[in-house]
Structure 1
Amino acid sequence: MDLKKTSTVLGLAVGSALALSAMPAEAATVEFGNNGILFDEDTTIDFEFLQSQGKFQSELFIVEAANPTDPVFTLFTENEPFDDTSPDFIGTCPTSVTVPGSSSCTNWFTFEANVEYSLALFSGENTPAGTNGYVYSTDALNNPAGQQAFVFDGVVLPPYTGPGDISADPALGKVTIGFDDKGNANDADYQDFIVTAMVTESVPEPATLAGLGLVAGSLTLIRRRQANKKS
């Protein structure tokens, strides 16, 4: 067997596969923030509940912008308005808030490509008269239209010393979304329900899988040649 030739082929195969796997995936985020949530390819986002603050008992949904009062997915449910031992109406997971039907503090959702979404916080009868109980991360969906959520790059907990970003990219790392639920005279504190969002690790691209397949094929070829030589 020509070991020099075989090792060269194997080296090229491994090198190609590693190079392909190291190539960053093309960013899929079109918008993630106060102007809406939109991706140009199917994108899975991991959400983590951080904290709630206030006497309201809320739920956080994902909705399509075209039908904002018809939730397509429930991210987190506040089973109690706040922790019994909290001095400032703070709710934590899993004491007060969980993923529906579990004790988990994390949830995920796959956003379909080219469908505009929004996060929607529902606080039921505790909202001011004349509203439908929802506030949205998308400004245009609020009634009246305006900002009821702030987006922050990174993991940010209150107290907030200034406004957040209008948008951020969850493909680059964790993004914090803080809601104001219109309670307490719509005080715009953006700490009534706080979660983080981040694009989940993606599976290898087809090109990467092809490169890894080339490595596996090369190893198989080497074994067969060694077996033929022994026989």
Structure 2
Amino acid sequence: MYLKTTSTLLGLAVGSALTLSAMPAKAATVEFGNNGILFDEDTTIEFDFIRSQGLFQSTLFVVEAANPTDMSNPLFVENAPFDDTSPDFIGTCPTSVTVPGSSSCTNEFTFKADVEYSLALFSGENNPAGTDGFVYSTDALNTPANRQAFVFDGVVLPPYTGPGEGSSDPLLGKVTIAFDDKGAGNDGDFQDFIITAMEKESIPEPATLVGLGLVAGSLTLIRRRQR
């Protein structure tokens, strides 16, 4: 009888372990930077607003590269061009910048697998020179095509010590994306709108937790039986 029970419990443990091993692997970043944003699995990224600087009242969106002026996915909006009491036209959250319709400084977006995206900074009626109000994190979408955002590993704030990176990986840690809105004649200061991005920590599904409990409990009973 002990042998039968042990075999049953061992089967449960092995079955649960196999189920857990069959779960999808961690998503891989195909691209996150100046060549576009592209993942090979549905991936949720958490964005934090850091600060803005300048006279423009802008909104930051996630857009699909195939439809770069679609405003249906806003991340952060400047409710005022800058904080009333701040020097040098600096905007902070939640004083002048928030997630639309809330006072939050953190937003998230789920990027669909194999769909190319970009971040788009829109300055409304305060159109930066030579644009229709949009500048993009993807170089090729800008008019003319050039770099209007830099991507940095970690949390980086001005003054910058280098020109930044072309891409980074938000699945490995925080990434800073800093925009230049062309408002001062394309001055290349990359401090007009600054956010960070990082993969949102996933919460295990209930079935996964049950499986883990079965594995742990079954192995404990097996050891007791063997004694």
Per the normalisation by structure 1, the TM-score is: 0.83
Question: Where in structure 2 are the equivalents of 1:154-173 lying within 5 Å?
Answer: 154-173=154-173
Q: Is it true that 1:111 corresponds to 2:119 in the alignment?
A: no
Match of 2:225 in 1: none
Name 2:63's counterpart in structure 1: 63
- Looking at structure 1, the residues matched to 164 and 78 of structure 2 have their Cα atoms a distance apart, in angstroms, of 24
Query: How many angstroms does 1:197 deviate by?
Result: 0.4
Distance 1:133 1:187, change over 3 A: same
Per the alignment, residue 134 of structure 2 pairs with 134
Distance 1:24 1:111, change over 3 A: closer
Write the deviation string for residues 38-78 of structure 1: whole angstroms up to 9, x where unpaired.
00000000000000000110000010000101133000000
Contact 2:148–2:190 under 8 Å retained in 1: yes
Mapped partners of 1:195, 1:91: distance in 2 = 12
CA–CA separation in structure 1 for the residues paired with 2:72 and 2:32: 18
C-alpha distance in structure 2 between counterparts of 1:46 and 1:25, whole Å:
19
Task: Specify the SS of the correspondent of 2:184.
Answer: helix
SS for the counterpart of 1:140 is helix
| 1:62 and 1:120 in contact (8 A); partners too | yes
Q: Check conservation: 1:64, 1:71, Cα contact below 8 A.
A: no
- Structure 1, unmatched stretches of 5+, are 223-231
Shift of 1:201: 1.1
Segment of structure 1 superposing worse, 121-130 or 60-69: 121-130
Give me the whole-angstrom Cα distance separating, in 2, the residues matched to 1:157 and 1:24: 35
Q: Could you tell me which residue of structure 2 aligns to residue 225 of structure 1?
A: none
Measure how far apart 1:149 and its partner are: 0.1
C-alpha separation between the residues in 2 aligned to 1:57 and 1:129?
15
Aligned length: 220
Deviation >4 Å, runs of 4+: 205-210
Give a deviation string over 1:176-203, Cα, whole Å, max 9, x none: 0000000111101110000000011124
Quick one: distance in 2 between partners of 1:72 and 1:176?
Answer: 23
Retained in 2: the 8 A contact 1:64–1:72? no
- The superposition leaves residues 192-226 of structure 1 with CA deviations (integer Å, 9 ceiling, x where unpaired) of 0000000111244899557426337749x99xxxx
Show the counterpart of 1:227. none
Q: For the residues of structure 2 that align with 1:205 and 1:39, how far apart are their CA atoms? A: 22
Q: 1:167 to 1:73 in 2, by over 3 A?
A: same
Q: Is the 8 A contact 1:52 1:91 kept in 2?
A: yes
Query: Structure 2: which 5+ residue stretches go unaligned?
Result: 223-227
Counterpart contact for 2:136–2:148, Cα < 8 Å: yes
Partner residue of 2:35? 35
